[in-house]
Structure 1
Amino acid sequence: MGDKIGKPVDHARSELGEFTPGMFVNVMYTSPTDGSRLKINFLNGDDNLLCVNPRYDECSLVLNSKLGGGWQHEECPNDFPLDKGKDVELMISAEENSFELYSEKFNYFSYSYLYRDEVTNVKCIQCEGNGTNLLAFVGKVLPDFDVGKAVYIHGRAPTEDGFNIDLVPSLPSHYKSDIVCLHIGVRFAQGVVIRNNNTKGKWGNEEKWNGMPFRPGSPFAVIIYAQKGGFEISVNGKHFTKFNYRSSTPLQSDMCVQLVRVPHIEKIEFIEHELLIFDGLKIVLYCVLYCIL
């Protein structure tokens, strides 16, 4: 068994050290039945580089930016699904020149919103409103993620509950919810780190030995390295465990990493470094300055 995305909340917020092309936000919720509204905000202080505002009272989706204290002109795509009381899944990705909005729920929806400020200025993702069962997570596309490649994740853990790190296949939508090649579920209450995979909604056998290398509310650095036989996982500069590839979810050439319930994400970086083995001690070398406060 496993819980890929955790339990729903009524709001979501992640502080970001960086937001660059190739990163995305995926939001799931049940649309309100009373005709109210939601907001997904890409913030930099008082500026809002993109406000995604489904208005179920007006049956419209409104996109806008607030820069220098003033709202700019609205854009209103006309094919976004606005049925009340329905499950909605919306992905918003940062590309070179625009935010790309994408959804496969109900009618296919795709829309480009040209940047009105530098996307790298985004420092916070905030979701709020009257939708229920709200789930939001931040991720990044990992092109050509094959043997010898790795992903480095630096963030701060929540103070309670836990969080997830998932590796999923990258498709044209950058995300597919029913396949997880590697699920890392940090569960503070149980004192375990779950490793698992998921194929079309069916979880494999859990692995949860090797203790708990994370601390509530503390910074962490994780490196997931693609080796021939499986993923090598390092936490805070020390080898933690290996997760063998499973036949139902093998290593794929294009992957995404997604983080669920991580309140501060400093960096997600695609790296190419060697895994060295000395007398059975596995050490991942990554040339960045890293400090656990």
Structure 2
Amino acid sequence: MAFVPAPGYQPTYNPTLPYNKPIPGGLSVGMSIYIQGVASEHMKRFSVNFVAGQGPGADIAFHFNPRFDGWDKVVFNSQQGGQWGSEEKKRSMPFRKGTPFELVFMVLPEHYKVVINGNPFYEFGHRIPLQMVTHLQVDGDLELQSINFIGGQPAPSQTPMVIPAYPGSGCMPPQSNLPTMEGPPIFNPTVPFMGKLQGGLTARKTIIVKGYVPPTGKSFAINFKVGSSGDVALHINPRLTEDTVVRNSYLNGSWGSEEKKISYNPFGRGQYFDLSIRCGIDRFKIYGNGQHLFDFSHRLSAFQRVDILEIEGDITLSYVQI
């Protein structure tokens, strides 16, 4: 069994710089691009470009350019026919040297909306039709953790990235095994969060949770619950003070045995994370920042009765897809 990112969710983890790749399926209204990374300790500037084409002379529909130069600011512009357009700028620096960040570009009908660390920062009106934008470029004084394209449709010719769950299991599963996500994405939901899984939890369904653990965070929990009984089929409980991730179930009024073994812990204070939880026929499979974290065998055999996703504790959510 392999993990395949769900349609409309195309992640790249730990990309190298300079980054210059096609946007899966092209740019479209409703798409969001999430960039997670760390600003360099010696940052002077970096840039994110939405480009129409791939060559060196391609037009730039949107140039996003933070500059640490004594007059800390972020510059916004476009380039057509080799000529820069009128420059827009904001004399505010939302990035801190040596500090993790989450940068989101939301593609709306009239403009790009820039959200940084969960806070709306700027809106840049379209100067070039967004349908012409084909590539995303990122370069400069930063370290990239992940780039996620959310909400667009992958190009028909594009093969989804496969992350082997076990050694030697990197084969592409049949089309019918592709994970599904029925619900619309929820951006920056408040915590505690409670979401309804329409139709209950089904095999091959993938839930995406993107968030941030504050520097003072101690613990938070993600629960897959049965609303009618209060049973919890899967309880994921990162404990920052213990550097561990506890998993358990709560059935018929009592907790089961804890599981703690983990191959990698993506939850750190002051860090962003990208969690994918896939329901299989016999187990949950959980991935963090593109790496397999752990499996959790079903203890509630009728897992289809799970109809609530609950998230609470010391966490800020930026994106949930159920």
**TM-score bin, normalised by smaller chain:** 0.5 to 0.7
Judging changes above 3 Å, is the alpha-carbon distance between structure 1 residues 123 and 7 closer, same or farther for their aligned structure 2 residues? Answer: closer
Deviations 1:26-45 (A, max 9, x none): 11110011132211110113
Moved over 2 A (4+): 4-7, 9-14, 56-59, 77-80, 151-176, 178-184, 194-199, 202-207, 244-250, 254-257
Q: State the match for 2:185 in structure 1.
A: 170
SS in 2 for 1:112: strand
53-62 or 35-44, larger mean C-alpha shift? 53-62
Tell me: CA distance 1:159–1:23, structure 2 relative to 1, closer, same or farther (3 Å): closer
Task: Output the amino acid matched with 1:14.
Answer: K
Decide whether the 8 Å contact of 1:10 with 1:128 is kept in 2. Answer: no
Task: Please tell me the root mean square deviation across aligned C-alpha atoms, in Å.
Answer: 4.4
Distance in 1, Cα, partners of 2:120 & 2:145: 20
Quote the residue 2:42 is aligned against: 34
**Amino acid in structure 2 at the alignment position of 1:68:** G
TM-superposed CA distance for 1:23, in Å, is 0.8
Correspondence 1:112 to 2:128: no
Task: Kindly indicate whether residue 149 of structure 2 is the aligned counterpart of residue 138 of structure 1.
Answer: yes
Q: Structure 1, unaligned stretches of length 5 or more?
A: 142-150, 185-193, 208-228, 231-243, 258-293
Shift of 1:95: 0.5
Contact 1:24 1:94 in 2 (8 A): yes
Give the structure 2 partner of residue 205 of structure 1: 295
- CA distance 1:64–1:176, change in 2 (3 Å): farther
> Aligned partners of 1:39 and 1:97: how far apart in 2?
22
Q: Deviations over 1:224-252 (max 9, x none)?
A: xxxxx99xxxxxxxxxxxxx6856648xx
Equivalent residue letter for 2:33:
V
Change (3 A) 1:159 1:139: closer
2:74 is matched with which residue: 61, 72, 97? 61
Match of 1:125 in 2: 136
Q: What is the CA–CA distance in structure 1 between the aligned matches of 2:21 and 2:101, rounded to whole Å?
A: 20
Q: Which residue of 2 aligns with 1:50?
A: 62
User: 2:43 touches 2:97 (CA, 8 Å); kept in 1?
Assistant: yes
Which whole-Å CA distance do the structure 2 matches of 1:181 and 1:160 have between them?
A: 13
Q: Which residue of 1 aligns with 2:33?
A: 25
In structure 2, distance between residues paired with 1:153 and 1:165? 17
Alignment map for 1:1-293 (pairs within 5 Å): 7-11=13-17, 12-16=19-23, 17-45=25-53, 46-58=58-70, 59-104=72-117, 108-140=119-151, 154=156, 156-157=158-159, 170-173=185-188, 177-178=210-211, 182-183=277-278, 196-197=285-286, 205=295, 249=309
- Alignment partners' CA distance in 1, 2:154 and 2:15: 27
Query: Shift of the alpha carbon at 1:70?
Result: 0.5
How far off its partner does 1:109 sit?
3.5
User: Taking structure 1 as reference, are residues 27 and 89 closer, same or farther at Cα in structure 2, changes over 3 Å only?
Assistant: same
Q: Aligned-pair distance for 1:130?
A: 2.1
Q: TM-score, normalised by structure 1?
A: 0.53
Unmatched 5+ stretches in structure 2: 6-10, 165-169, 171-177, 190-207, 212-273, 311-318
| Higher Cα radius of gyration | 2
Once residues 67 and 256 of structure 1 are traced to their aligned partners in structure 2, the CA distance between those partners, rounded to angstroms, is 36
Work out whether residues 181 and 249 of structure 1, in 8 Å CA contact, stay in contact via their aligned partners in 2: no
Mean Cα deviation higher: 14-23 or 41-50 = 14-23
Paired positions, count: 197
Q: Would you say the 8 A contact 1:99–1:114 is kept in 2? A: yes
| Bigger mean CA deviation after superposition, 52-61 or 162-171 | 162-171
Aligned to 1:147: none
Q: Which moved more, 1:28-37 or 1:91-100?
A: 28-37
1:31 partner amino acid = A
How far 1:80 moved relative to its partner?
Answer: 4.2
